[in-house]
Chains A and B, each alone.
Chain A
């Protein structure tokens, strides 16, 4: 029996549409539950004051600041190392055994569960290097976790620069490094930027790596230096939703909403940058 091609087309469209709807329904439900329950908690006071009543009330200001501190510290560590490593691997490293091992390691590092990074960071940075539970320990742990991702996205960005640009530059007697510096990197910036920002969005929601390395239940003041312990949103959310009896649910959802907005904002910045550059890119 032969089906009418128009009909089969319609049916397959319908099935694909249905599957897509099923895929996004959970996301919509999660977001709407969080928004519905969390929105009433969001006030200026909630965002700008310290917790009260054994964190059952008051605000989440120190956790917001702590999260930003960790993120900024991670960016400072991760961007130069990740980008330089990617440049080396892509532009200079030969194809020998060592670089193959490095590349393999990078791919595999990306698949390690984040809690393992947390334990690793605890034993190396907190205990062995005696950095203690601190912003710097947490940022180093997050950086190590995210480094493979940054390296890979940067390599992709470098590879997507047309080779005709490199050849044009080299043919003018411009050296390999100058070509990278003045031709390849500027053209790869959008890709590197979006990849980096997505990574930041990812690490800002991570709990496991900072669980033992940076985060604490409560600090009565803001961090003074990178060697202080901090309160951090994802951890704060975890603690308040599991370990604090009689915690008002409204506040828990409020924390979740703030975290969600933060991560979504960072991701959308990256999407906006990508759209902007795609519009203005001419090659």
Chain B
């Protein structure tokens, strides 16, 4: 029932300690929010879960992260397989400068092991993100012509076509207007049926609206992890309370 377990995990950028001994268990088919002031390490933690931090110079980690029972910081792990299992959606929509179809099918095209019918899969995932009706007649158009909201939907579709277990969202709405934000939130809520969702957000209302569990971080430490309701109505820690009542951050 926990498909992601983070154990005594620390991360350094050269000698700066960005994550300090994090322990966290995340439930499957659930939405977990990560909140905390800017620079507290939310993105760093999220990016540790699919090891995309590996690409950054000077990163060094301690402890482990178990995804579906396997320690992903084991040297023998297949990082590409891990990343197919743990999708990611970024802060700014980042479609490739390719057509809509090529964007969605990108991951499958390159690693089509089970000879899935790619056309069908593209259609399915576009339907899942409610983008199919908008784009079904212009699949060959450049994806960068879409609106930002549509681009972010496309990025979500591009991630879910890989059939991951976990999807990581790093402030997915921060470049969108309030209406688009609301619609993307609704979409993320529907994803919970099939995926374990972890979402980093600056927006506390957003965390309160869509997540079941919330983790509050401060200066690289996990201060409190609890049911979202509990965090927002009756936090255990003083720092959490200060943050959610807006005394800093």
Contacts and interface: CB of A to CB of B under 8 A. Distances in A.
Interface of A: 95, 162, 164-175, 178, 182-183, 187, 281-283
B107 A173 contact: yes
Interface residues of B, number: 29
A25 to B, nearest CB: 42
Contact of A283 (B83, B144, B145): B144
Contacts of B155: 168
Contact of A171 (B50, B57, B110, B142): B50
A160 B241 CA distance: 43
Interface of B: 50, 52, 55, 57, 80-85, 87-88, 90, 92, 94-97, 106-107, 110-111, 142, 144-145, 155, 158-159, 162
A172 B52 contact: no
B57 A173 contact: no
A171 B107 CA distance: 9
* Centre residue among A162, A166, A171, A283 by max chain B CB count within 10 A: A171
Contact of A165 (B81, B84, B96, B142): B96
A281 B52 contact: no
B88 A171 contact: yes
B50 A166 contact: no
A162 B52 CA distance: 15
Contact of A168 (B81, B85, B96, B142): B96
Given A95-B57, A282-B142, A282-B144, A171 B96 contact: no
A166 B57 CA distance: 15
Given A165-B94, A168-B96, A187-B97, A173 B81 contact: yes
Top 4 nearest A-B pairs (CB, nearest first) are: A173-B84, A172-B107, A282-B144, A164-B94
27 contacts: A95-B57, A164-B92, A164-B94, A165-B96, A165-B97, A166-B55, A167-B52, A167-B55, A168-B96, A169-B96, A170-B52, A171-B50, A171-B87, A172-B84, A172-B106, A172-B110, A172-B158, A173-B81, A173-B84, A173-B107, A173-B162, A174-B106, A174-B110, A187-B97, A282-B97, A282-B145, A283-B97
Contact of B83 (A162, A165, A173, A182): A173
A255 to B, nearest CB: 44
Given A167-B55, A168-B155, A174-B111, A183 B96 contact: yes
Given A164-B94, A169-B106, A174-B106, 4 more contacts: A165-B94, A167-B55, A170-B52, A172-B158
B77 to A, nearest CB: 12
B101 to A, nearest CB: 15
A42 B127 CA distance: 65
A166 B94 CA distance: 10
A245 to B, nearest CB: 60
A13 B111 CA distance: 58
Nearest to B58: A95
Contacts of A178: 110
